Structure 1
């Protein structure tokens, strides 16, 4: 007998907004974020906004590295205090935290070996193999000319190179990482992914709303994610 999944509150934490959606709801709620957003303030505002929603578990997409469902570094665009904060106690229910790119990756997954690349301020990355999520930190690996992948395909690279050269770099990075990691397909997300006009073979544009799907899937067993690719 399959255990029923709990109602889940999914929270996508960003530098400008915190977005939330609950099982059974169709319209996300958006809360302003920014450099004064502490974890305590986030919890208070989320609980207030979601007061009419019923949930027994929480998923959080966090804009930074996460280990064992806990942030291990403070976010760049928010206030400090996230590392070591007791989210389970604050929400009063079980909480799972993953990197925001990993959460969107999980929502974009269609089986097999998938690489997710989030093109935004930086470069988010995650790999899913046979339903098993592996968050990655590829952004700061060396790429070329003494610079990292993020230096070329993140926001700084876009500003330095201009759109045309930036697009060429994105294509090269996709092809290089797809080959190196033996990914069957690559999904692109993040705000700057919309600037891509042509996708290399085996790559496609994801939907930023998939972060919510990923948050719900966090509470599924990995075996349930092993569906055949569409």
Structure 2
């Protein structure tokens, strides 16, 4: 098998991995393991190493991470519940652990967005999981990171606090869906996007009528965005570490 790209999607609920070709097609089944809480860096790296130990040959690594990432280093990781993440060079640490392959790390919503963006117009990717993640694309180009998760939405609470997995379990599906409609209305008012793309594990809990420009995307395809991190035009922007 031709060496591919190892794509790792780190979430507050689960860690997923698969090997992709350069077009983002999955060359393996997607493997998954539960994310512990808390999940400090050393624990995460051990889990990823165990998860991918039997994967076929790869020569590059792409990582989607649930927090703010700059040049492969983590700035915030609220949903992993460990202060050890602040300033941690995840790209370097994973590269060294998995065989010194070139490694690039990006926010998880950004990576998932690359899997689904049409490349036309203004598109907003929203991930519904442990928290509420966002990525904005203009004609297929990732815009400078603008995370809505920690911005207040209602009742003095942030999007994360208002629509995260803990609130879904606490208030139930009906209220959560009402809140989601409020959030989508605000995003439409703020950005007037051509499309809003919904993904993440809790997208399966959507039961409300959605605005005409909103689509629910299949979760299993989200990892294919990892191939985009190795396109030449992206690697030259300095947004990723490798």
Give your verdict on TM over 0.5: yes
Q: How does 1:13-32 map to 2 (within 5 A)?
A: 13-23=10-20, 25-32=27-34
> Offset of 1:32 from its aligned partner?
4.1
| Residue 90 of structure 1 pairs with residue 100 of structure 2 | no
Indicate how the Cα distance of structure 1 residues 43 and 177 shifts in structure 2: closer, same or farther if over 3 A, else same: same
* Residues in 1 aligned to 2:38 and 2:102: alpha-carbon distance in whole angstroms: 26
Gaps of 5+ in 1: 224-230
198-207 vs 155-164, which moves further: 155-164
| Residue 123 of structure 1 pairs with residue 125 of structure 2 | no
Indicate how the Cα distance of structure 1 residues 52 and 139 shifts in structure 2: closer, same or farther if over 3 A, else same: closer
| Residue 60 of structure 1 pairs with residue 63 of structure 2 | yes
Give per-residue Cα distances to partners, 1:66-92, cap 9 Å, x unaligned.
122321124533656444232333330
Indicate how the Cα distance of structure 1 residues 153 and 111 shifts in structure 2: closer, same or farther if over 3 A, else same: same
Pick from 199, 219, 241 the counterpart of residue 208 of structure 1: 219
Partner of 1:180: 190
CA RMSD for the aligned pairs?
2.7
Asked if structure 2 preserves the Cα contact closer than 8 Å seen for 1:100 and 1:211, the reply is no
* Residues in 1 aligned to 2:152 and 2:42: alpha-carbon distance in whole angstroms: 36
> Which structure is higher in helix share?
2
* Residues in 1 aligned to 2:204 and 2:35: alpha-carbon distance in whole angstroms: 23
* Residues in 2 aligned to 1:78 and 1:168: alpha-carbon distance in whole angstroms: 28
| TM-score normalised to structure 2 length | 0.78
| TM-score normalised to structure 1 length | 0.81
Q: How does 1:162-201 map to 2 (within 5 A)?
A: 162-197=172-207, 198-201=209-212
152-161 vs 168-177, which moves further: 152-161
Aligned length: 219
Pick from 68, 71, 74 the counterpart of residue 71 of structure 1: 74
Give per-residue Cα distances to partners, 1:182-225, cap 9 Å, x unaligned.
311001112222121221110010122233111112212458xx
Give per-residue Cα distances to partners, 1:40-60, cap 9 Å, x unaligned.
454455445344521111001
Partner of 2:9: 12
> Offset of 1:122 from its aligned partner?
1.5
Indicate how the Cα distance of structure 1 residues 94 and 81 shifts in structure 2: closer, same or farther if over 3 A, else same: farther
